[in-house]
Amino acid sequence: MWLYIVRRIAQSILVIIGVTLVLFALFYILPGDPVRVLTGNRHLSATALANARHNFHLDQPLYLQYFYYLKDLAQGNLGESFRYHRPVVDILREYYPNSMRLGLVAVVLEAVIGIFAGILAAVKKSSFADNLFIVATSLMISIPVFWLGMLLQIFFGVKLHWLPVSGLGDGGWRYYVLPALTLAAVYAAFIAQTTRAGLVKVLNENYIRTARAAGLSEFKVVGKYALKNAMAPVVTLLGLDLGALMGGAVAVEVIFNWPGIGNQLFLAIQARDRPLVMGAVLTLVLIFIIVNLLVDISYLFFDPRLRSSGYEL
Amino acid sequence: MKLRRLFVVAVLMILMTIAVSSCANSKNNKSNKVSKNGGHFSYFLQEPLAIDPINVQESAGFEVARELFDGLVDYNPRNMALVAAVAKSWSSNPEATVFTFHLKHGTKFHNGREVTAGDFKYAWERVAAKDSGSDVAYHLAPIKGFEEMQTGKAKHLSGLKVKGKYTLIVTLNYPFADFPYILGHPVFSPVPKEDVEKNPKAFAKFPIGNGPFMMAAPWKHRRYIKVKRFNKYYGTKPLLDSVEFRIFADKDIGFMEFKSGSLDYAPIPLGQVKATDEEYGNNAVIGQPLLSLDFLGYNSRSRPLNNKNLRRAISYGIDRKAISDAIFEDVRLPASGIIPPPIGGAIPPAKSFETRFTKAKELLKKAGYPGGKGLKKLKLTYISGSDYGPLAEAIQGNLSKLNIQVDIQPMEAGAFFKALHTGDTSLFIVNWAADYPTMDSFIYPLFYSKSEDNVVGYRNKAVDRLIIKARKTLDAKTRHKLYKQAESDILADTPIAPLFYDGTAALHGRDVRGFIRTSLDYTPLEQVWLKKK
């Protein structure tokens, strides 16, 4: 397993270098001058423009700019934001934790709601509750996130005054409720459907029938033997969601004015802030790689057969 | 027996609760009495790029910085006239090239130290330095020695002389009678060297200024900026105890927050202005013109727009009133001139659009394109993602009635500005917002032949002479006359078609008093107070 992890890390470095190369090339191809975007329609003097370009190394050939970027990157320096004149690392340090906390709360919510609803539907298969479940989850998946978010804001924030409409305020738990619910709603429906499908399949297996025949309680049959075997696809899905949500869910962060990285990335792209976009995307890639690695390792826990068969992940 | 005891205990508990809560109430009442005119104000803000004067640029940064810092001068919020701030008086030589400022004694930074002329010199040179990283150093361009500092040849502004603790003498590169006005911009605020150099990063998040409010906590990016009253402020102290600038990504969310009751001020998003006006009436400040002009630029350097009559026909063919009503909910004021009304621009009596349309047809004929015949399709550009999309379509619709065909091409910001400055345009919609409340800040940058902001490439020697003469004229009345004359000459040449003066659309809470929206689109918070609830 260790060999596998080392190999994955080596691959990740290649992926990161590839990402930097593609992003650098993309920014270079974009029409217009980043310094002009910064200064707007104010036409600066030649000296001022030259100074601005010099400060951002934009006066050097592209390959040199890229070389300097990689050199800094190797030292953990992501450069300075064109727009905010602050180190990218500082900006990421400010916004990533907010996105991560929101993502984590949302994933926990979706896991709890989704798995619980999925179990209920699978156990009560073909009942009225199960049909209702199928309709409800399909509906949740089809609802646009921004619409659901705004609905919650108007109802719980503007009309009832129960919860804050937006932002992170002083960081209290009340600020997390609406955005986390909005984020969790759609994903919970996916989780619920996946859990249900997996569980229905497993519940028809011979060993479940044997367990029931041996007189084990239904709770033990489902909770201990069936659920664990139905979990692999659910965990994969949760892992992917975690990666995606930690990187900031742009739509929800924008609607809820969440000071997260998704919101910031959106603005940075508009402002052609290359160092900030690259820093944010690279961190996002890194999070994805780490989460995927953890998900792969978690398979060993859920499926002991893989351990004994020398599973190569 | 047990039940009776329980009853007694319950009654006692209720009585105690009432007693405690009444005590708490009387305490609250007491504190309300003390802060009769004060209170805590919650203010809508978009994330500023900076609140440290070195990089203050857009209106969000301007709004915070002007509460934290005071420059030599300020503007009267009602009419934008120049008023003294840290300077008690100033004078100029007859050529308008040397200005002497005398500072008030005893004005203090938030760290308690007195503000001196040397602090201004330090602050301005900090901005002008080659490696300052300031995007707004251009404000200092009139000062002698600026170019040398920008190129790194000099470490000091040769045009700045400090005489004693309270006198600052500024020598300019050229005559500029309006120079004191530009000093109202926060980029010219003094900063305490000891705090800046101790930790520049910390200073950017927690600037130490000399304004009516001081930072209460470090700026939490995209969340809030909290300030409190500076009790040693030299001027009239603010009435509010504290202000929280709550940061929003856009106006729609802020507006929803206002409706939920958590904001005391929010701008009204386009599309909700008329409904809000009906609902909130007295608490809305709508349609006051700002120092901001939307205009249609012509590339008059090449065919067919080098034809003056064609340019005039296009301008006459646009129904500004109808467009403002349909798209901008009457927030924007149809513009017939360049200089906005708050600083002396005239609003001529409105002619009916029918009359203007007939005139447009005549002008088109005069231009050699009767009924639009022989005129090729014109390209109309604007920055994609801006709110000019519907405006471009409305102009296209208006001009099609004159048989002038227009092709709309939104452009990405970088490409648009590049095209603007290389002259690779035909028709374009752009906005010009003044940095300072002067006629010069519209006429000189946009129309002086050597100005780098003259995006329409306008050249008129007579107008150039008028502008230079105005810049040399110290008498305000005569100076304004000269700028107005220049404006009228420019309009006769029609290098642009003025479209709209942007207007206010602001909403404040029912308990807010003393709320003003200035024509530079900020609220002087030092004058605001909250009515006791």
pLDDT score of A38 = 67
Q: What is the amino acid identity at position A66?
A: Y
Does A259 reach chain B within 8 Å, measured CB to CB?
A: yes
Least confident of A54-63, A241-250, B76-85: A241-250
H or E, element range at B30: helix B2-34
Q: Decide: residue B18, CB within 10 A, 0-12 exposed, 13-18 middle, 19+ buried.
A: exposed
Weakest-pLDDT range from A96-105, B144-153, B419-428: B419-428
pLDDT at B348: 66
Does any CB of chain B come closer than 8 Å to the CB of residue A85? yes
Structure tokens at B300: 């008059």
Q: Which percentage of chain B shows pLDDT scores above 90?
A: 75
The residue that leads in pLDDT, B453 or B265, is B265
Closest Cα in chain A, distance from residue B449 (Å):
14
B-contacting residues in A 169-228 (Cβ below 8 Å):
169
Pairing of strands B242-248, B427-433: unpaired
Query: What integer is the mean pLDDT of A273-288?
Result: 86
A241-250, B71-80, B463-472 — which is least confidently predicted?
A: A241-250
Give the pLDDT score at B533.
61
**Interval B395-411 mean pLDDT:** 94
Q: How much is the CA Rg of chain B, to the nearest whole Å? A: 27
Q: What is the pLDDT of residue B430?
A: 92
**Is it the case that residue A69 has pLDDT exceeding 70?**
yes
pTM: 0.84
Contact (CB<8Å) B204/A91 = no
User: CB count, 10 Å around CB of B161?
Assistant: 15
Task: Say if CB B142 and CB B176 are below 8 A apart.
Answer: yes
Mean pLDDT computed over A195-213: 87
Per mean pLDDT, which range of A228-242, B131-145, B204-218, B333-347 is the poorest? Answer: A228-242
Beta bridge partners of B242: B40, B228
Question: How far, in Å, are A11, A78, A305 from residue B500 at the CA level?
Answer: 57, 43, 73
Kindly state the average pLDDT of the residues B85-113: 97
Q: What is the pLDDT of residue A310?
A: 53
The arithmetic mean of pLDDT across residues B286-298, rounded, is 94
Please report which confidence band the pLDDT of residue B269 belongs to, taking 50, 70 and 90 as the band edges: very high
Six token digits for residue B424: 């690779």
Partnered with residue A40 across adjacent β-strands are none
The answer to whether A71 and B150 are in contact (CB under 8 A) is no
Question: B306-353 pLDDT, tens per residue?
Answer: 999 999 999 999 999 999 999 999 999 999 899 999 998 876 666 788
pLDDT band of residue B22 (cuts 50, 70, 90) is very low
Ordered DSSP codes for A92-156: HHHHHHHHHHHHHHHHHHHHHHHHHHHHHHHHTTTSHHHHHHHHHHHHHHHS-HHHHHHHHIIII
Q: What angle do CA A272, B53, B252 make, to 5 degrees?
A: 55
Structural contact between residues B267 and B45, judged by C-beta atoms closer than 8 angstroms? no
Residue A7 has pLDDT above 70, yes or no: yes
CB contact under 8 A, A55 and B131: yes
Dist. CA B120–CA B190, nearest whole Å? 5
Highest mean pLDDT (candidates A87-101, A125-139, B68-82, B444-458): B68-82
Identify the pLDDT of residue A308.
Answer: 58
Q: How many CB pairs under 8 A join A and B?
A: 127
Least confident of A74-83, B413-422, B424-433, B486-495: B413-422
- Round the average pLDDT of chain A to a whole number and report it: 83
Helix (H) or strand (E) holding B313: helix B308-316
- B378 vs B422, residue with greater confidence: B378
Specify the pLDDT at position A6.
80
Is the Cβ pair A259, B220 closer than 8 Å? Answer: yes
Residues A127-166: pLDDT tens digits?
A: 888 888 888 888 888 888 889 999 999 999 999 989 999 9
Q: How far is residue B512's CA from residue B466's CA, in Å, rounded to a whole number?
A: 45
A82 CA: distance to closest CA in chain B (Å): 10
A47 vs B: CB within 8 A: yes
How many angstroms from the chain centroid is the CA of residue A37?
30
Q: Where are the domains of chain B?
A: 2-25+36-247+509-530, 288-502
Q: What is the DSSP letter of B158?
A: T
B186-212 as b/e, with b when 16 or more CB fall inside 10 Å?
bbbbbbbeebbeeeeeebbbbbbbbbb
How much is the average pLDDT of B64-88? 96
**Tell me, what amino acid is at B231?**
N
CATH code for the domain defined by A97-308: 1.10.3720.10
Q: With a cut of 50, say whether residue B376 has pLDDT above it.
A: yes
Q: Hey, is A270 helix, strand or coil?
A: helix
Is residue B118 predicted with pLDDT exceeding 50? Answer: yes
Residue B144, pLDDT > 60, answer: yes
**Å from B452 to nearest chain A CA?**
5
Q: Residues B88-117, buried b or exposed e (16+ Cβ, 10 A)?
A: eebebeeebbbbbbbbbeebebbeeeebbb
Cβ proximity of B70 and B86 under 8 Å? yes
pLDDT of residue A232: 80
Region A226-230 average pLDDT: 83
Instruction: In whole angstroms, give the CA distance from residue A154 to residue B167.
Output: 57
- Determine the residue type at B11: V
A168 touches chain B (CB under 8 A): yes
B423 touches B320 (CB < 8 A): no
Q: CB distance A38–B259 less than 8 Å?
A: no
Tell me the domain boundaries of chain A. 2-74, 97-308
Number of helical H runs and strand E runs in chain A: 15, 0
Whether A49 contacts chain B with CB within 8 A: no
What is the nearest CA distance from B126 to chain A, expressed in angstroms? 15
- Tell which phi-psi region holds residue B329, choosing left (phi > 0), alpha (psi between -120 and 50) or beta: left
Cross-strand pairs, B297: B428, B496
Which CATH architecture best describes the domain B2-25+36-247+509-530?
Answer: 3-Layer(aba) Sandwich (3.40)
Range from A100-109, A296-305, B179-188, B398-407 carrying the lowest mean pLDDT: A296-305
* Of the candidates B235, B236, B240, the residue with the CA atom closest to the CA atom of residue B227: B240
- A144 preceded by a cis bond (ω within 30 of 0): no
Q: Which residues on neighbouring strands pair with residue B92, listed in sequence order?
A: B99
Average pLDDT value for residue range B204-216: 97
Q: How far apart are CA B459 and CA B346, in angstroms?
A: 24
CB B103 within 8 A of CB B167: yes
Determine whether the interchain pair B249/A42 forms a contact, defined as Cβ–Cβ distance below 8 Å: no
Which of chain B's residues have a Cβ under 8 Å away from the Cβ of A256?
Answer: 253
Q: B288-502 — its CATH code? A: 3.10.105.10
CB-based contacts of A224: which residues, under 8 Å, 6+ apart?
A: none
The pLDDT assigned to B72 comes to: 98
Give the tens place of pLDDT for each residue, A12-42: 788 888 888 888 888 777 766 677 666 665 6
- The per-residue pLDDT for B23 is 39
Q: Give the whole-number percent of chain B exceeding pLDDT 70.
A: 92
> What pLDDT does A313 receive?
47
Interface with chain B: mutation pick from A88, A163, A166, highest number of B CBs within 10 Å? A166
Determine which of A85-89, A173-177, B186-190, B401-405 has the lowest per-residue pLDDT on average: A85-89
Residue B54: DSSP 8-state? G
- Mean per-residue pLDDT for B87-108? 97
What is the DSSP-derived secondary structure letter of residue B521? S
Share of chain A above pLDDT 70, in %: 90
pLDDT at A43 over 80: no
State yes or no: pLDDT of B25 exceeds 90. no
> Which pLDDT score, from 0 to 100, does residue B27 have?
37
- In the structure, what pLDDT confidence band is assigned to residue B448 with cuts at 50, 70 and 90? very high
| pLDDT over 80 at A296, yes or no | no
C-alpha count within 13 angstroms, C-beta hemisphere, residue A132: 6
B483 pLDDT more than 70 = yes
Does the pLDDT value for residue B446 go beyond 50?
Answer: yes
Least confident of B196-205, B296-305, B411-420, B473-482: B411-420
